[in-house]
Amino acid sequence: MSVAPINTSLNDRIQAFAHAGTVLSDYLKSDDHQDQSHAQLIEDALISAQQNNSWFTRDNLVFALHEWSEALTVENLESWLAPYHISNIKPVTVGVIAAGNIPLVGLHDVLSIILVGHHALIKTSSNDQVLLPMVLELAASHKPELKNSYTITDGRLENYDAVIATGSDNTARYFEHYFGQKPNIIRKNRNSIAVLDGTESHEQLVALSDDVFLFFGLGCRSVSHLKVPVDYNFDAFFKAMYEKREIISYFKYANNYDYNKAVYLMSEFKLLDNEFLILKEEADSYASPIASLGYSHYQDLDDIKSEIATNAEKLQCVACTSSMQEQLAPAIANLQTPQLVDLGNTQKPRLQDYADGVDTVQFLLTLS
């Protein structure tokens, strides 16, 4: 179903989202807000998001807004889109089924659709219903015509030409059945791992703690598994993780820690534990419950290269030092995923770092 031409230029749309980024940045930098109406809009959205989803703590929400405020600049948006030929677009309607595991996880898809010049038909997650509309409202406050570029719906998607849907492996099967006749991007479960060799500095391991604990480890870019050499000494790792010890004071995290520890102990698993993070040796899965990490050993980097190549479709990111990235990069150069990332940066993707390695903008350009 084609739609009426979007009554904005690409430059208009870039300026609108850059304005949203500026407003977010100004809000985060000062309590003395010059623009009280926008500040109240953001504050109300944050309060509502916390009330609706207790995993969305204030700190995690502020981190998400900060990262998006950094991304949404004219320079970043133009640099991201420069390689593409975005002109003479025949607009169509692209449905978006957004996930809600971490704040604003669906914004990149919506941003891509609108900037290309299509119409976004958005179904927000029940776990994240207010943040995405808030950002769109900030952008539209600069360019009111932008409101013609999106529709937010509470019901089932109807009258769409293509779909971008994100969910679990189970929901992905439903998505593939329901949306399979339309052009689509359907994302499933993925996990991220860290590869350590024992030479990491304390500062690098502290940075890794962000990859582990931000958003309580609920994102596909959250490190949920460690690959370590045989006879690796975890003392330095646990010393660095101690920086995040206050996380156990959050009741939902503490409840998960207590529950998972009890389950593991009853099953007589051998555990490593520092009273707020459980490490369990696990060779068969990269996924780990909240408050725990799996780990497994490798003999040499050839083992890691082979494993990554074999399990590429299960992985989103591999976090490691820059020197290890240099060694691993040639072996995975032709793989769509995973992305090699510096320790501490898994939750700081650039606009061009596409989920699952699928170029969303290029997909959208094929629809015109």
pTM over 0.85: yes
Q: Are residues 135 and 252 in the same domain?
A: no
Does 306 lie in the same domain as 217?
Answer: yes
Q: Are residues 119 and 96 in the same domain?
A: yes
Cβ contact 204:272 at 8 Å: no
pLDDT, tens only, 46-88: 999 999 999 999 999 999 999 999 999 999 999 999 999 998 8
pLDDT of residue 180: 84
Both 170 and 32 in one domain: the answer is: yes
Residue 112's contacts (CB-CB under 8 Å, 6 or more residues apart) are 360, 361, 364
CATH number at residue 71: 3.40.605.10
pLDDT tens-digit readout, 260-314: 999 999 998 989 999 999 999 998 899 999 999 999 999 999 999 999 999 999 9
| Mean pLDDT of the region 11-37 | 89
32 pLDDT exceeds 70? no
DSSP label of 228: E
Q: How many residues does the chain have?
A: 368
- Structural domain of residue 63, as residue ranges? 10-189
Q: Taking residues 320-327, report their average pLDDT.
A: 97
Q: Do residues 157 and 252 touch, judged by C-beta distance below 8 A? A: no
Whether 4 is in a domain gets the answer no
pLDDT at position 4 over 70: no
Same domain flag for 326 and 279:
yes
User: Within this chain, do residues 174 and 237 fall inside the same structural domain, yes or no?
Assistant: no
Give one word for 325, left, alpha or beta, with left for phi > 0 and alpha for psi -120 to 50: alpha
Q: Give the total number of structural domains in the chain.
A: 2
Same domain, yes or no: 197 and 156: no
Using the 3D structure, point to which of 149, 166, 189 is the last residue of a domain: 189
Q: In this structure, are 126 and 257 located in the same domain?
A: no
pLDDT at 206 over 70: yes
Which amino acid makes up residue 123? Answer: K
Query: Are 198 and 170 found together in one domain?
Result: no
DSSP 6: P
Q: Is 357 within a domain?
A: no
Average pLDDT score, the chain:
95
Residue 255 lies in a domain: yes
189: helix, strand or coil? coil
Residue 34: per-residue pLDDT: 62
Q: How far apart are CA 146 and CA 6, in angstroms?
A: 8
**Rounded distance between C-alpha atoms, residue 141 and residue 277, angstroms:** 44
φ and ψ at 229, to 5 degrees?
A: -65, 160
Residue type for 93, please? T
- Specify the DSSP class assigned to residue 315: E
124 and 205 both lie in a single domain: no
φ, ψ dihedrals at 297, nearest 5° = -105, 155
User: Domain check: are 135 and 62 in the same one?
Assistant: yes
d(CA 12, CA 236): 50
**Joined tokens for residue 246:** 């206050």
pLDDT of residue 2: 54
In a domain, 317, yes or no: yes
Checking if the pLDDT of 102 tops 70, the result is yes
Same domain, 176 and 236: no
3-state secondary structure at position 112: helix
Q: What is the 3-state secondary structure (H, E, C) of 69-110?
A: HHHCCHHHHHHHHCCCCCCCCCCEEEEEECCCCCCCCCHHHH
For position 178, what pLDDT does the model report? 84
* Statement: residue 33 has pLDDT above 70: no
Residue at which a domain ends, from 135, 158, 189: 189
